[in-house]
Structure 1
Amino acid sequence: MNEREPSRRPAAATLSRVLDLIDPGILDVVVAPRGTEVPVRGVTLYDLGDEDADGTTLAGMILLAVGVDPRGHGAVEAVRAARRAGASALVIRRGADPVDAAVVEAAEHGDTAVLTRHPGRGWTDVLGLLRNACAQSSPSELATVDSLRPGDLSGLANTVADLVGGAITIEDPQSRVLAYSRMDHEPDPMRRVTILNQQVPRWRVAELRESGFFRTLWSTDDVVRLPADDRYAERLAIAVRDGGEVLGSLWAAADGHPLAPDATAALRTAARAAVPHLVHHETRGREAARRREAAVHTLLTGGAGAEQAARTVGVRPDRPHTVTVVEAYEHPATEFASDAPTPAEQRVLDVLALQAAALRPGCVTARAGRRLYVLMPAGETHTDPARDLVATARSVPGTVVFAGVGPMAQRPAELPGAREDAEIVVRVLRERAVATGVPASASALSSDVVSEAALVRLLDRVEPLWPMAGPVHAMVEHDRAHGSEYSASVGAYLSAFGDTVAAAHGLSVHPNTLRYRLRRARELFGVDLDDPTGRLLADIGLRLAHRARG
C-alpha cells in the first residue's frame, strides 16, 4: 500500500464514533472547533510538501503528521495546511510538555480538530487503529452485513453466497483462503483442493498470472469473469480495496446450478461491504482471534472468568450449544502419538476450523496440541457437526481424524461437562481403532457410546487405586519377560463371553491349547476365570495393562 494514499469511504463515520472505537489514552483531543461530530472519510499520512492538499483529496480525512515536531513551527504550519485541505482532524505526536499555545491558537481559528498521539504507540499502530475504526463506523451497503460482527468473514461469505446464488471464497492478496461459504453441493475439484490446502494451488496461481487474469483483477474495480471449461465451473472474482490497497478478493463459483442473473451486481456491492471486515481482519483479526480462543478455553474449562468469556465469544445464556472435539493424526499405526502435532496435522486442523466456521454462524474454535475444540450454537434441526468435519478430513490422504460430540449444553455452566464428554467420545473412537488394528477416521455422538464412555470413566477412577502387584499384574509381567500369551488368551476368553471355541478361533489356536493356557494362568498367577469376581478383576486389570502400554 502507498501509505499516503487515502482510504475513501462514504461520509458517514464521525470523529466521535471513530474515537469511541479506540482504547482511551491512545489519542487525546486537544482542540475541536466544530466539536467531534464532524464527518470522517478515512485516514492517511500527510506531510507539508503534499501537493494534493487541494480541499478534495484530503477533505474529511484524519491526517497523521508524521515527523512533525509538536512544539516547533512545523506543527503550526501543519495545522494551517490541514485547515486549507478541509481535513477533519490532524494528529501530532504528544510530547512531555503540553501542546504549544501557538498550535492551539492556529486550530481555534479553523475547522480542523487537533489530536495528540501517545508516545508509546507508533504511527503504524495508530494508522491501523484509525483505519479499523473508520471501517467499523461506516455503514455497509448490504443490510444483511450490518448484523455481522466486525471481521466475521465466514458470516460474510455465507451472506454473499445467498446473494450471488453460488459458493463464495474470500482470499487474501497471496491467494490464501480466509473464509468460505457453507457447501450445499459437492464442490468442483478446484474449490475442494483450495479449501483443503487453505490456498489456491501454486500451479493454478501461476496459470492465472500467466494468462493475465490477476493483472486484470488487481487493476479494475469491476467483476472479472473466468468462464467455465471442461475442468471447472464458472467463476466471478472481484478485488476488495481500501483506497489504493488491495485487501483481498471475493470469488463466486457456480454451486450445483448457474449463478444468479444479477450475481455480477451483487458481487460489486459485496466487495464494498466487505471492506470493513477485511480491514478488521488485517488490523485486529489475529489479536481478536487469540482473545476469542482464550475465551473458548475458559468457557470449556469453567471457573473464574467464564461469564466474561461467554460475552467475548457471543455465547448467549439462553441458547444451547454443542461441543465437538477433534483429534488429527498423520499416518497412524495401531497406536496414536501424544506429542506435538506435525505440520500436516496442523493443516488438517486449520481446514476443519474453517469448515466448522462455515457450518453455522456463531461457531468458535480453539486449539490445544493436536486437538480442535468447536463450540457451536445448536440449530433448529438435528445435525452432527462431527460427521461433517470427518467427511471433510477424509479428503486429506494419510490422515486419520476422530471427532466426538458431547451432550447438548443448555447453558454456559454445562459446557465444561459437555467438553469432557466429547473428549471421552474421542478416546473411545481411538481405542476402537487400536482394537481393530485398521485406523480410520470416525465420529460419534456421546449418546452413541454410552457404555464404552462409562467404562472409560470407571477405568480413570480405578487406575490410581489399582495395585501394582496381584494376579493380573504378575501374568502381564511374565508375558513381557518371556513372550508368553497368557494375557492374550485370558482377554480373548473374556471377550468371547467364555466361549472357548470362539476365543481359540480368534487366537488361531486349538481349543485345547487355549484351555491349557487358561489352566496354567490359574496355577501360575491365581487368575481364576471360573469365579465371577476373578473374571471382573481380570477384565479390569487387562484393560488397565493395555492402557499403560499405550
Structure 2
Amino acid sequence: MPTHEPDRRDTEPSLEQILGLIAPGMLDVVVAPLGTRVPVADVALHDPGEERDDGAWAASGLILLAVGVEVASPEAVDVLREADRAGAAAVVMRRGSRGPRAVLLEAAGRGRTALLTRRPGQGWTEVLGRLRTALVHSAPPRYAALSGGADGVDAVDGLRLGDLPGLANTVADLVGGAITIEDPQSRVLAYSRMDHEPDPMRRLTILGQEVPRWRVVELRESGFFQELWSTDDVVRRPADGRSAERLAIAVRHGSEVLGSIWAAADGRPLAEGAAAALRTAARAAVPHLSHHRTWGRAAARAREEAVHALLDGAAHPERTAHDAGIVRGRPYAVLVAEAYDSRALGTAAGPGAGGDGEQRVDAEQRVLDVLALQAAAYRPGCVTARSGRRLYVLVPARDGEPDPGRTLLATARSVPHTAVFAGVGPVAVDLSGLPASRDAAELVVRVLWERAAALPLAGAVSAVAVFGEVETDAAVLRVLDRVEPMWDSLSGPVHAMAEHDRAHGSEYGASVAAYLDAFGDTGTAARRLNVHPNTLRYRLRRARELFGVDLADPSVRLLADIGLRLATRSTRHG
C-alpha cells in the first residue's frame, strides 16, 4: 500500500491548510484516519475509466473529486478503496440526502485516505476552483518558490492577497446575504456561494459575468450610480419585481474607485448589521482589488493573447510559448469548442437565432466557462483562450498518444438547452504545428455544425469528434471553401434553379440534392423528402424543363452537387 513520504510535509501544503482557506461549509471531513495534516500534491477529477498498468494507478497525495458519486451509493466503497490503494490524500463525494453507509465508514477507518463530502448546493466546478486556488495559496515558502506561487499572506481576514472569492464568502457570512464583487464597469470579479436559488437579476449577472447592459442603463439613468460613486457610505436599492433588496458600497483607494461590493437578500432579510459589515468589507477589499487590477486581469489577458498568437503562427514562438504557459519541446493538440443555443440549430437562421438574446449569450458563455475549468482540471499543462462563443484548449500529449483531448471532449456533452460542438486537431510535435492543428479542429467543429443543421430541430444536440473521424467531410469543406468564390462569379442551370428556389420557396434544389444523395434511387430520395415518388419524378422533370438541369449528364450532376451544397451552406448561415 502506498505511503506518504515524510519530507513531503516540508514541500507541500497540508489538507488542513487547504480546507482552512476554502469557503466554510463547502466540504465536510467525514473520516480522516491519518488526520488532516497529510500533504497534498494536487487536485484532480476521479476518472474510473483511466487506463492502468497491472490494474494499479497512482494518485499519491491527490485530492480526488468523485463527480457523480454519492456517499450512500453502492459504488462509494469501491471508489474509496481504489483511491486508498492509489495513495490519494483525500476523496470527495456528494453528501446527498442520506449519510454515508456503515460499510463506507468502516472502510474509511481502515485505510489512509480521508473521506470528505461536498454539501448540497455546491457545484463541482466551484469546489475544484476553490481547492486549486487554496492549494497555491497555502503552499509553504519553499513550495511556492518552486511553483511560482503568489506573494506573502495578507493579514486581512487571513485571506491571501487577491483572493476575491474568499473575500466574497467571508463578507457573505457577515452580512447574511449573497455577495457580488464588481469592477467599475459592472463586470463580475467574484461572487459568494449560493445557499439559495438566486433572484433573476443575480442569476443573469453571474451567468453573463457582468450586470446586464439594460440594468446598467437603468441604474445610471436613475442616479443610483452617481450616488454610489460619490459617497463612502452604503447605498440601498429596495426590492422590486425582478430582484431582492440590494445594499452596495464603492471600494476606493484614495480618489480612485476600484469597484463595488453588492449584498443581496438571499432567501431571508439581510442581517441587522449588514451596512456596517459592508463598510468594513469595503476597507478590507482595497488591497485585494488593487492586486487584482494590477496582476489578475492583466496576467490573464496577456496569457490569452499569447495563446492566440501561437495559434496564429507567432513570429517568436519560443518567447510567446513562455508567456502562454506552454512547455517547449512538448507535443500539443488543439481542441476547439463552440456553444450555441440549441434552438438556433436545424433552422435556416443559423447560429445566434432562437431564445432571448441576452439569456442565450449568458448560457453559451457559462458553458464555455465550465469547459475551460474542466480543461484546466483535465491534465496539468492545459492552457485555454476564449474568442466569442469559441474556446481554444492546448492539450499536452503523452508519448505516443494520438488523441489527447478525447476524454476531455466527453465533458462537452449533455448541456441543457445548449449545443456544444467540439473537435481536436492532430498532435503538433512542435510549436510551428499549432496553427495547422487549430485549423483542423475548427474544420471538425464546422463539420459537426453542418451535420446538426441538416437535422430536424429535435436532432440538434451536442457532438464531439477528433479530426481523423471526420477527415473526409473536412476535405469536402476545404474544397467548397476554395470553389465558392469562383462559383459565385459563374452562371448556369444550377445557379438558375437555386435562385428560383430562393425567390419562390420552391423545392427543386432539395429534390435534386436528395436524388443525388440517394445515388438515383427515387424511392429512397422520396422517403427522405417525405413526398410520393411521383412527386419527386415530377420535380426532377420540371428542373430539366425549366432550368436545363439534366441529371443524365455526368457534368451536370457534378455541378449540381457542388452548387447545391454551397447554396445550402449560404442558407444555413445567412
TM-score between both structures, scaled by the size of structure 2: 0.50
Report if aligned partners of 2:334, 2:393 keep a CA contact under 8 Å in 1: yes
Deviation at 1:184, TM superposition (A): 5.7
Deviation at 1:428, TM superposition (A): 0.1
Alignment of 1:302-313 (within 5 A): 302-313=313-324
- Which of 326, 350, 365 pairs up with 1:315? 326
Question: How far apart, in 1, do the equivalents of 2:67 and 2:400 lie?
Answer: 19
Is 1:351 the counterpart of 2:362? The answer is no
- Which of 484, 488, 499 pairs up with 2:521? 499
Q: Which residue of 1 aligns with 2:471?
A: 450
Over residues 475-510 of structure 1, what are the superposed CA-to-partner deviations in whole Å (9 max), with x where a residue is unaligned? 111122233221111010011011111111212222
Q: What are the ranges of 5 or more consecutive residues in structure 2 without an aligned counterpart?
A: 1-7, 14-20, 22-36, 47-61, 72-114, 139-152, 170-288
Report if aligned partners of 2:326, 2:383 keep a CA contact under 8 Å in 1: no
- Which of 459, 465, 477 pairs up with 2:486? 465
Question: How far apart, in 2, do the equivalents of 1:165 and 1:311 lie?
Answer: 22
- Report the CA distance shift for 1:242/1:509 in structure 2 as closer, same or farther (over 3 A): same
- Report the CA distance shift for 1:513/1:435 in structure 2 as closer, same or farther (over 3 A): same
Q: Which residue of 2 aligns with 1:242?
A: 154
Q: Which residue of 1 aligns with 2:415?
A: 396
Report if aligned partners of 2:543, 2:549 keep a CA contact under 8 Å in 1: yes
Over residues 8-32 of structure 1, what are the superposed CA-to-partner deviations in whole Å (9 max), with x where a residue is unaligned? xxxxxxxxxxxxxxxxxxxxxxxxx
Question: How far apart, in 2, do the equivalents of 1:281 and 1:162 lie?
Answer: 29
Return the letter of the residue paired with 2:361.
Answer: T
Over residues 326-377 of structure 1, what are the superposed CA-to-partner deviations in whole Å (9 max), with x where a residue is unaligned? 0011233314325997121111111111110111111111111100000121
Question: How far apart, in 2, do the equivalents of 1:344 and 1:502 lie?
Answer: 39
Return the letter of the residue paired with 2:313.
Answer: G
- Which of 178, 181, 186 pairs up with 2:68? 186
Q: Which moved further from structure 2: 359-368 or 507-516?
A: 507-516
Question: How far apart, in 2, do the equivalents of 1:328 and 1:470 lie?
Answer: 38
Question: How far apart, in 2, do the equivalents of 1:229 and 1:317 lie?
Answer: 41
Return the letter of the residue paired with 1:362.
Answer: G
Question: How far apart, in 2, do the equivalents of 1:332 and 1:436 lie?
Answer: 12
Question: How far apart, in 1, do the equivalents of 2:377 and 2:481 lie?
Answer: 36
Aligned to 1:436, the other structure's residue is in SS state coil
Alignment of 1:243-392 (within 5 A): 243-245=155-157, 246-247=159-160, 248=163, 284-333=295-344, 334-335=346-347, 336-337=350-351, 342-380=361-399, 382=401, 387-392=406-411
- Which of 537, 540, 546 pairs up with 1:524? 546
Report if aligned partners of 2:421, 2:463 keep a CA contact under 8 Å in 1: yes
Report if aligned partners of 1:389, 1:403 keep a CA contact under 8 Å in 2: no
Question: How far apart, in 1, do the equivalents of 2:434 and 2:43 lie?
Answer: 35
Deviation at 1:141, TM superposition (A): 6.4
Report if aligned partners of 1:366, 1:372 keep a CA contact under 8 Å in 2: yes
Is 1:143 the counterpart of 2:11? The answer is yes
Question: How far apart, in 2, do the equivalents of 1:228 and 1:491 lie?
Answer: 54
Q: Which residue of 1 aligns with 2:450?
A: 431
Q: Which residue of 2 aligns with 1:538?
A: 560
**RMSD value, Cα:** 4.1
- Report the CA distance shift for 1:452/1:350 in structure 2 as closer, same or farther (over 3 A): same
Alignment of 1:11-30 (within 5 A): none
Report if aligned partners of 2:330, 2:430 keep a CA contact under 8 Å in 1: yes
Return the letter of the residue paired with 1:463.
Answer: E
Q: Which residue of 2 aligns with 1:107?
A: none
Q: What are the ranges of 5 or more consecutive residues in structure 1 without an aligned counterpart?
A: 1-139, 146-152, 154-159, 170-179, 190-224, 252-277
Report if aligned partners of 1:386, 1:443 keep a CA contact under 8 Å in 2: no
- Report the CA distance shift for 1:331/1:435 in structure 2 as closer, same or farther (over 3 A): closer
Report if aligned partners of 1:322, 1:376 keep a CA contact under 8 Å in 2: yes
Question: How far apart, in 1, do the equivalents of 2:120 and 2:371 lie?
Answer: 29
Deviation at 1:472, TM superposition (A): 1.2
Aligned to 2:563, the other structure's residue is in SS state helix
- Report the CA distance shift for 1:509/1:279 in structure 2 as closer, same or farther (over 3 A): same
Return the letter of the residue paired with 2:68.
Answer: E
Return the letter of the residue paired with 2:324.
Answer: V
Return the letter of the residue paired with 2:433.
Answer: E
Over residues 386-411 of structure 1, what are the superposed CA-to-partner deviations in whole Å (9 max), with x where a residue is unaligned? 55445434453111100010011011
TM-score between both structures, scaled by the size of structure 1: 0.52
- Report the CA distance shift for 1:487/1:408 in structure 2 as closer, same or farther (over 3 A): same
Is 1:441 the counterpart of 2:462? The answer is yes
Question: How far apart, in 2, do the equivalents of 1:228 and 1:484 lie?
Answer: 58
- Report the CA distance shift for 1:166/1:482 in structure 2 as closer, same or farther (over 3 A): closer
Return the letter of the residue paired with 1:297.
Answer: H
Aligned to 1:517, the other structure's residue is in SS state helix
Q: Which moved further from structure 2: 509-518 or 291-300?
A: 509-518
Question: How far apart, in 2, do the equivalents of 1:285 and 1:479 lie?
Answer: 54
Deviation at 1:425, TM superposition (A): 0.3
Question: How far apart, in 1, do the equivalents of 2:421 and 2:117 lie?
Answer: 39
Percent sequence identity is 55
- Report the CA distance shift for 1:492/1:142 in structure 2 as closer, same or farther (over 3 A): farther
Deviation at 1:165, TM superposition (A): 9.5
Aligned to 2:515, the other structure's residue is in SS state helix
Q: Which has the larger radius of gyration?
A: 1
Question: How far apart, in 2, do the equivalents of 1:310 and 1:167 lie?
Answer: 25
